[in-house]
Chains A and B, each alone.
Chain A
Amino acid sequence: MKTRPQLFIDTTPLKENEELALKIYEETDKYSITPTTFKARKILSDKNLDQVTVQYKQYREVLNQKLQTAKKLLDESNQIINLAVKSQVFSIGEGDGLKNTNPISNLLQTKVNELNNQIIKVELYEQNIESVIYTKMYEDIYENMEGNAVIRYGINSLESIKIAASYNEELRKLDLIKIQGSQTGSKKSGKSNKEEQSDILLHPLEVKIVQSAITSLQLGKQKTALIDIFARDDKEQIQFDTKTKLPETHTVVLYKNTTSEYIVIDPSNSSFSSHLACKSNNNLIGDSIKIIASEKELKIYSPASKDNIGPNPNQYRDCIDIAVKLAFGLNQIDTIDIKDLTNLESIQEVTNNTHIDKYIPSLPDEFSLRIKQASETKIVKHISSLLKYIDKQLKSFSIYPKEGSKELAEKMQESYLLEKLYQVSNLENDHYQSGIEILGDFKESNEGQFIEFIKSV
């Protein structure tokens, strides 16, 4: 039987068989997060969206001003070319060609088009603001054994169906898809170029969520909050899950670096959420707030297959689970250098990326090795140190300069990759201690075998 968390409404505990508790369990049991870390849920019913409305209006005005400047410059640039043609600086015919290829005019024309598109999008979002009132956000509180907590500002998927569908419909009507369609890109944020941050505008609901999270971080002691964003396709539309038919959401960590600077840390792929840090969204979120994200593509945790994510031992963890574990670790850090994310212990401990944690081997897809992201910090640290030790052990054995050592080292590798890590990968949450024992015994046995080998040669 699964261990269930004690749920609360504020400070009043909920009994396990109460209807509300059962509903929460029904939902949270689908997450791969260990239930004990889920503490409580509050629903935020936001009736006041005046600030977001003002923010969009002001941003549209700024874009309009830029557009006027760009148009004026474009006119002037074209006039200069015309004058040059008239005053016979160019021979007949040459001027026309120049007009078409003039790089400044071309760049200005691109800018005018870009600003026009941006204004249309802002207007579209402005139209959607009212609908957000009917979509409830919620706060989930997660807490691990050390009392380390993080709040998640979530999007209620069921209630957001209408706004997501109407937004996509408007987007199609405006033919923006055609304009944006040439961009190829990642599933979540629409761009694949690793050095380029996507400029997808946040939906008013997302703006509200980020603002709420920032306000809570500014007032509270915690360094992190979790925020839900809509997953976007490569045409900027809000993506719907093909199975559940609900808008797809993605959870990311927002880390308070200073009271004015916030870092977006994506548990799966930084390109899914890098648009949060673009200039337009920084403008929308608020004055004196700077949101930044990794410029290089960073994949902290990737499941082998999208279809194998869930709470079972043989399944990969979902982004909420990874985000919570990351937040627990990042809560202990005072400041972060965005360029140094991969060297942070809390990221290395949680990751399944062999380029970030350089001591984990590449594994068959069937091995989720969930123990590495256990909720108990003690287990995570113990497992990390065992994996590191064994990796160093096997690495050094494989270059030992004696005949027969390579064969022995390869046998150990096979046993590690196919047998030991398989056993450890398929453990239930409450059997992680035995995983530590399996790897501990393997480490000892390797050492014993190698000492015997050295003696024999």
Chain B
Amino acid sequence: MKNISYFKLSNYCRWNQSENAIRIMNEDQNIDIKHKDGEVFLFAIENNNPTILNSLIKYYEKNQLKGDFESIEYKIAKHKLQQILQDAVNTFTPSKEIQEVLEKYLPKEDVDSEQDLSDLENLLGFGIEETHPQIEEHNTTTNVVLSGNNTHEVY
């Protein structure tokens, strides 16, 4: 069971209540705010709340980004933060204010040739969908004794 403070913080971030969110973070320094793929960051970005987002990042820097800059623990923690923020940006379109907060934490994007390639494909006609003859269905349906074990363990 996680610290109850985490779940309260999650609620306050989801409810967009900056004052309560900050209060919980001040009261408890042991909240794992990267829990559940960093959902609290996502709430702040989704709700367009730079105040909560800033406080979360500062809290993370203070409590998780500790120690030697060159240490593996530091690098992993930094990478995790970048990953959470990048995922959030991919999921929600961030506002200008949020982008300003995120700017220094997100890795700079490489100029990707994918778009160029896609433009070229369209230009050369590669992107045009082909047509095929209509498929007709010829299933023969039979009732057969269930055979074997069909376990479907997924996820």
Contact = CB atoms under 8 A, between A and B. Distances in A.
Contacts of A394: 11
Contacts of A103: 113, 116
Contacts, number: 205
Interface string B15-28: 10100100000000
Interface residues of A, number: 94
Contacts of A110: 113, 117
Given A42-B141, A110-B117, A249 B154 contact: yes
Contacts of A215: 135, 137
B129 A418 contact: no
B134 A288 contact: yes
A241 to B, nearest CB: 5
A439 interface: no
Given A54-B133, A159-B148, A111 B126 contact: yes
A156 interface: yes
Interface string A363-396: 1111000000000000000000000000000110
Contacts of A286: 132, 134-135
B interface secondary structure, majority:
loop
B150 A158 contact: yes
Nearest to B132: A287
A interface secondary structure, majority:
mixed
B1 interface: yes
Contact of A251 (B90, B121, B152): B152
A43 B143 contact: yes
Contact of A287 (B14, B134, B155): B134
Given A103-B116, A251-B154, A354-B39, A156 B148 contact: yes
Nearest to B113: A107
Interface of B: 1-2, 4, 6-8, 10-12, 14-15, 17, 20, 36, 39, 42-43, 46, 87, 90-91, 113-114, 116-117, 120-121, 124-127, 129-155
12 contacts: A107-B120, A111-B120, A157-B149, A193-B90, A231-B154, A248-B153, A288-B131, A361-B14, A365-B2, A366-B1, A395-B11, A417-B4
Closest 7 CB pairs of A and B: A158-B148, A362-B10, A43-B144, A215-B137, A194-B90, A287-B132, A48-B138
